[in-house]
Structure 1
Amino acid sequence: MTTITAPVSHAFEADVAKLLHLMVHSVYSDKNVFLRELVSNAADACEKLRYEGIANPALLGEDPAPRITVTLDPDSSRLMIEDNGIGMNAADLADALGTIARSGTKSFMERIA
């Protein structure tokens, strides 16, 4: 049985311009690699759902086809990457957001190997 709880909000603050500059110029040599990494993460989430859905088809829901949507909203200066992949629970989010350069996909692949 699935338990649905009320959404919980957490504040996260960053100087986005400085953070993006650091990411683009220090971690990635090409600014387009940053976008590719986000889309790659979405693809990993979809693949993880496909894999987990083999053992537990209920996870796939009514529309099991993997989907990644990239949306640009020039009015709000937002680029959104959304997927219908496996998702993350609260502990996964805290772990991933609290640690720079941690790969959840690498951990997943090591677990199933």
Structure 2
Amino acid sequence: MSEPQTQSFQAEVRQLLDIVIHSLYTDKEIFVRELISNASDSLEKLRLKELTEKGIYQGDLPLEINIATDEEAGTITITDHGIGMTSDELTDNLGTIARSGSKEFLEALKEKGDGNAS
């Protein structure tokens, strides 16, 4: 078992304030949309990687988003088999509020010459 690690907490203030002001108080279900959007982004990133770096995708895993509810437990579970994150990506992204890996992904696509990324 690995040793516990302490990570710093960061917030991109402008985006955080935008989320708080426009989303958290006006639309209580925004988190569901955000999780589904993240799952969709993860699948799209996997599809692109498979086109550019053959052998990434394991064909036995469905490229779909599954949503399950458990009323008794009061939970919603959203799963996908998308690209996932490395340990470093987890550290960079989970310790930061209001940071979008999708923005960085789209910028990287544009740098490679795909002007159709939006």
**Structure 2: runs of 5+ lacking an equivalent:** 7-18, 111-118
Could you say which structure has the greater relative contact order, defined with CA pairs below 8 angstroms and 6 or more residues apart? Answer: 2
Q: Which residue of structure 2 aligns with residue 17 of structure 1?
A: none
Partner Cα separation in structure 2 for residue 69 and residue 76 of structure 1: 18
**Structure-to-structure mapping, 1:22-61, within 5 angstroms:** 26-28=21-23, 29-61=26-58
**Structure 1: runs of 5+ lacking an equivalent:** 1-5, 12-23
Q: Which residue of structure 1 aligns with residue 11 of structure 2?
A: none
Of the candidates 57, 61, 65, which is equivalent to residue 68 of structure 1? 65
Runs of 4+ in 1 over 4 A off after TM superposition: 6-11, 24-27
Distance 1:90 1:36, change over 3 A: same
Shift of 1:58: 1.3
Aligned: 1:102 with 2:102 = no
Superposed CA offset, 1:17-56 (max 9, x none): xxxxxxx864512122221111011000000000011122
Distance 1:7 1:55, change over 3 A: farther
Give the counterpart letter for 1:78 in structure 2.
Answer: T
Superposed CA offset, 1:75-102 (max 9, x none): 2221111111100011111111111011
Partner Cα separation in structure 1 for residue 55 and residue 3 of structure 2: 25
Partner Cα separation in structure 1 for residue 67 and residue 94 of structure 2: 21
Aligned residues: 96
- SS of 2:42 mapped into structure 1: helix
Of the candidates 71, 82, 86, which is equivalent to residue 83 of structure 2? 86
% of aligned pairs identical?
38
TM-score normalised per structure 1: 0.72
Distance 1:61 1:9, change over 3 A: farther
Give the counterpart letter for 1:59 in structure 2.
Answer: I
